[in-house]
Structure 1
Amino acid sequence: MGNSKKRCFVVMGFGIKTDYINGRKLDLNKSYRLLIKPVVESKGIECVRADEITHSGSIDVQMYRELLQADLVIADLSTLNANALYELGVRHALRPYTTIVISENKLVYPFDLNHVVIHSYQHLGDAIDYEEVERFRAALGGVIQSVLDKNQADSPVYTYLNSLIPPKLQEQIEKAVVESERKVETPEIGKALSLIIQEAEDAIETKDFVKAKNLFQTAAMLSTSNSGQKDTYLTHRLAFTTYKAAQPDLVTSLYESLDLLKSIHLDTTNDPETVSSAGAVEKKLYECGEGEQHLENSILYYQRSYYLLNNRYNGINLAMTLLYHATSNLVNNDQERIADLVFAKRTWSRVLYLCDRDWKLIQQKEKNDQALIHDGTKDGQELQEYYNSQKFWILVNRAEANFGLGNFEAYQIALTESKNIPFHPWQLESFTEQIGKLEAELKKVGHLLAPKWTAPN
């Protein structure tokens, strides 16, 4: 690698990944950016993750090279990412020491990892508490220093086969690696995957969904393994930007988006994000007049993701699809309509409970993170924006649930409170559109409820 500066290769997924054991979503980018990279760089060590490697050839060649030659490897096994587990095994086979294993503390370890020392941190879903950041940075810094100083075997392979001699990269193989990196296949190759993804996310912020779609297509292609395995996070983002781009038209783009989700095993997956995304696409197809089968599919997908995650987003949308079902041609008597409405009411009531729960959690987390929020850094600014967004959605979810239940005074209070929190115009537009649909459907069947639902004046 031709650089006298020590180099650390970080083995982990990127983006938002789901822990299939407990259904929690973890933002691995935050783990890397807040917990790992600053600590490594504070030791004067260059730190790189696979998505930061400039793509000038086969990513697999570059990845194996890093696993062999990096002075230090940190492997984060959170969500039991199969690629991370495999790469850790390769590293353990190639190097006897300087490998550190970490994970989020709710990871359920497979039996074969019981003999590996795993340093844990607390990840609060899609955020990390500032105090935990400080604690784990100090702990990881100490572990890194100890590993670099002692050169003591941390690989179980070299522990149990203590006479094994580590391999070296032969000169002719090194030349082949360099040659492979000269290949150019697409205009975006030559950029790190992380930069392409960031450009795509920036394009979403400015509503340039066509540009975002094209960038995510490139990112998805670069991240696809030789076996054809696709990265689920990038597929989710590509599916989202595909239907948002609406090219050549909305309906065509929705079907294209659905095909992308099917390509990551939609019918059998336990990934709630995949299922939830499919629910949104199927719901939109029904609203576009593509047939009632899409409504039935949407209900099933939202039910699966709602029961897996027990969250507000899927609850709100499940209630809406149940209301659509009550007003559709799929039911032909009031008894069935009432059944849909009762289920929807129960779901709205549950959403109110989840809003109260999440509000308390977000307030406590925001309180704990005041030091980081006010430290004048970009991380602090982004964290405040995150908390503002979370509070806005909690309040409008509370407003929508109360609207569905006919609690119009509570609806107005929640709506007024939401407008006192900084938000993007599109957020309020999305909520207003949803309330309009909700009111239109309830006007058709609200008389079947007890007490009757009547539109507010």
Structure 2
Amino acid sequence: MQSIKLSYPSRAMNMKQKLCFTIMGFGKKTDYSTGRTYDLDKTYLNIIKPAVENAGYISIRADEIQDSSLIDKSMYALLIKAELVIADITTLNPNALYELGIRHAARPNYTIILKDKDGKIPFDLDHNRFLIYTHLGDDVGATEAKECQERLLNLITDIEKQKPVDSPLFTFLEGLNPHQISQTDYDQIISKLSEKEGHVFAVSEKAKLLMTKNDFADAALLWEKASSLLPDEHYFIQQHALCTYKSELPSKETSLLSALTILSKIYNQEDTNDPETLGLAGAIYKRIYSTTSDIETLKSSINAYKRGYIISGDYYTGENYASCLDVLSNASADVEEQVYCKYQSKTIRKEIISDITKKLFLDDTSQDKKWMYATLANCHFHLGNITDAETNEQLFLSSSPEGWEIETYQQHKPKPQI
């Protein structure tokens, strides 16, 4: 993948240069109306930021300015004063919707709304003009990114020329005056932004780079720093926990217990509904079981995967759920529990096969087909459908999977019966 050059407001920022403030969640966020999870950083880096900078604006996103002292004042100032605001409401993130409401109440125009094609548009916004795009979940396709950059750039150019009113408030109520902030206050805020070092966005991007190099120990330290700057951001806590257990330092078991402690800030077995958090909890508990053989830990993994699968319908989570049920079926001394686990795992895999087959038939493939084939192969192998399994396995292997992807697939593939 081509490396991305990051640029931030510099010390030499010209206060007269136009600013675009982007409203959106960051990291991976889930749309609960569809169960889909999106990496919103990819939208910002591959669509919004390039288009905005090509239009002659300095691009600023909320996590590029956030710290404990400046957040509230700078946020509200930029929402009111920034020459352009772009709001990506793909997952209907409450903070993004709230901030969009402030912008619409403060300014009659120069606000653009983006959204992925899936999911519902809130009733109060369904009359607004949207830039709709297609997100693959983990990334935005190269062709889609290029086309959306051009569409967004053209949209920015059009609103600069025509200055249409895009605020519902200013559209329906005549005689309103836009809110104002003194230029002195605004210049002071921009000056502070120019001097800031170590933006949260920069920290998280460095952590992601270390993860691609399998340097999970150093990545964990950076995610911990990001989480300390924004303690309420669940994505940073998730990544901190993930890198902690993958580091296997100072030992595998200790790293897993440490990761579970980190995740406990946002996870409990009864109330958590975020699929990413549930999937991570399931993975940690499953790995703890592999080192301790504690049945209750395995059941905690099953509980997390089950909730995640029910909420999201994600086939990968479902396959993990079914796999853990298989393990419990073999480990349990309770005959009735053994029978239930075998029946339930079989039912889940049939559901997964039906869902993926339907998506492939309808070409509703917002996710990588490679993993669909891998999941179909494993499900068919477990159900004894060897011909279908081998067909999908070949489709997976012909999709040029990387080494770690083949290894992951093999880990889920059932071992031949002797």
Given that 2:80 and 2:103 are in contact with CA atoms closer than 8 Å, whether structure 1 keeps it comes out as yes
For the residue of structure 2 that corresponds to 1:32, the secondary structure is helix
Given residue 282 of structure 1, which amino acid in structure 2 is its aligned partner? Y
| TM-score in terms of structure 2 length | 0.82
Q: Aligned residue for 2:342?
A: 341
> What pairs up with 1:150-165 in 2 under 5 angstroms?
150-159=162-171, 160=173, 162-164=175-177
Offset of 1:213 from its aligned partner? Answer: 0.6
Given that 1:9 and 1:73 are in contact with CA atoms closer than 8 Å, whether structure 2 keeps it comes out as yes
For the residue of structure 1 that corresponds to 2:228, the secondary structure is helix
What CA distance in whole angstroms lies between the structure 2 residues aligned with 1:140 and 1:174? 28
Work out which of the two has the higher radius of gyration on C-alpha atoms and give 1 or 2: 1
Offset of 1:212 from its aligned partner? Answer: 1.1
For the residue of structure 2 that corresponds to 1:345, the secondary structure is helix
C-alpha deviations, 1:188-209, integer Å up to 9, x for none? x713333322221221222111
Given that 1:20 and 1:270 are in contact with CA atoms closer than 8 Å, whether structure 2 keeps it comes out as no
1:171 paired with 2:149, answer no
Q: Aligned residue for 2:381?
A: 403
Offset of 1:77 from its aligned partner? Answer: 1.4
Q: Greater relative contact order: 1 or 2 (C-alpha under 8 angstroms, separation 6 or more)? A: 2
1:203 to 198, 201, 210: 210
Q: Aligned residue for 2:227?
A: 220
C-alpha deviations, 1:135-176, integer Å up to 9, x for none? 654543443223222445433444526243531236367547
Given that 1:23 and 1:271 are in contact with CA atoms closer than 8 Å, whether structure 2 keeps it comes out as no
Given residue 332 of structure 1, which amino acid in structure 2 is its aligned partner? D
Alpha carbons of structure 1 residues 129 and 253: separation in structure 2 relative to 1, 3 Å: closer
What CA distance in whole angstroms lies between the structure 2 residues aligned with 1:46 and 1:31? 17
1:430 paired with 2:386, answer no
> What pairs up with 1:49-128 in 2 under 5 angstroms?
49-53=61-65, 58-114=70-126, 116-128=128-140
Given that 1:398 and 1:411 are in contact with CA atoms closer than 8 Å, whether structure 2 keeps it comes out as yes
For the residue of structure 2 that corresponds to 1:73, the secondary structure is strand
1:258 to 231, 253, 260: 260
Residue ranges of structure 2 left out of the alignment (5+ in a row): 1-12
What CA distance in whole angstroms lies between the structure 1 residues aligned with 2:119 and 2:340? 39
Given residue 168 of structure 1, which amino acid in structure 2 is its aligned partner? I
Offset of 1:244 from its aligned partner? Answer: 0.9
| TM-score in terms of structure 1 length | 0.76
Q: Aligned residue for 1:269?
A: 272
What CA distance in whole angstroms lies between the structure 1 residues aligned with 2:53 and 2:194? 26
Given that 1:17 and 1:28 are in contact with CA atoms closer than 8 Å, whether structure 2 keeps it comes out as yes
Offset of 1:305 from its aligned partner? Answer: 1.6
C-alpha deviations, 1:397-426, integer Å up to 9, x for none? 233223322345554554455444433333
Q: Aligned residue for 1:237?
A: 239
Q: Aligned residue for 2:4?
A: none
Q: Aligned residue for 2:296?
A: 293
1:280 to 283, 302, 305: 283
What CA distance in whole angstroms lies between the structure 2 residues aligned with 1:176 and 1:7? 13
What CA distance in whole angstroms lies between the structure 2 residues aligned with 1:161 and 1:232? 41
Q: Aligned residue for 1:27?
A: 39
1:328 paired with 2:340, answer no
What CA distance in whole angstroms lies between the structure 1 residues aligned with 2:137 and 2:218? 29
For the residue of structure 1 that corresponds to 2:331, the secondary structure is coil
Q: CA RMSD in A?
A: 3.4
Equivalent pairs counted in the alignment come to: 404
For the residue of structure 1 that corresponds to 2:56, the secondary structure is coil
Given that 1:96 and 1:166 are in contact with CA atoms closer than 8 Å, whether structure 2 keeps it comes out as no
2:321 to 318, 322, 335: 318
Given that 2:26 and 2:40 are in contact with CA atoms closer than 8 Å, whether structure 1 keeps it comes out as yes
Given that 1:26 and 1:123 are in contact with CA atoms closer than 8 Å, whether structure 2 keeps it comes out as yes
Residue ranges of structure 1 left out of the alignment (5+ in a row): 183-188, 225-229, 366-385, 440-454
Given residue 167 of structure 1, which amino acid in structure 2 is its aligned partner? Q
Q: Aligned residue for 1:303?
A: 306
Given that 1:101 and 1:118 are in contact with CA atoms closer than 8 Å, whether structure 2 keeps it comes out as yes
Alpha carbons of structure 1 residues 111 and 328: separation in structure 2 relative to 1, 3 Å: same
After alignment, is 69-78 or 231-240 more displaced? 231-240
What CA distance in whole angstroms lies between the structure 1 residues aligned with 2:355 and 2:72? 43
C-alpha deviations, 1:94-130, integer Å up to 9, x for none? 3333222232233434444356544433434445466
Q: Aligned residue for 1:444?
A: none
What CA distance in whole angstroms lies between the structure 2 residues aligned with 1:152 and 1:174? 27
Question: What percentage of residue pairs aligned between the two structures are identical?
Answer: 32
Given residue 247 of structure 2, which amino acid in structure 1 is its aligned partner? A
Offset of 1:324 from its aligned partner? Answer: 1.8
Q: Aligned residue for 1:47?
A: 59
1:11 to 23, 28, 32: 23
For the residue of structure 2 that corresponds to 1:97, the secondary structure is coil
After alignment, is 418-427 or 194-203 more displaced? 418-427
Given that 2:282 and 2:302 are in contact with CA atoms closer than 8 Å, whether structure 1 keeps it comes out as yes
Given that 1:8 and 1:74 are in contact with CA atoms closer than 8 Å, whether structure 2 keeps it comes out as yes
For the residue of structure 2 that corresponds to 1:75, the secondary structure is strand
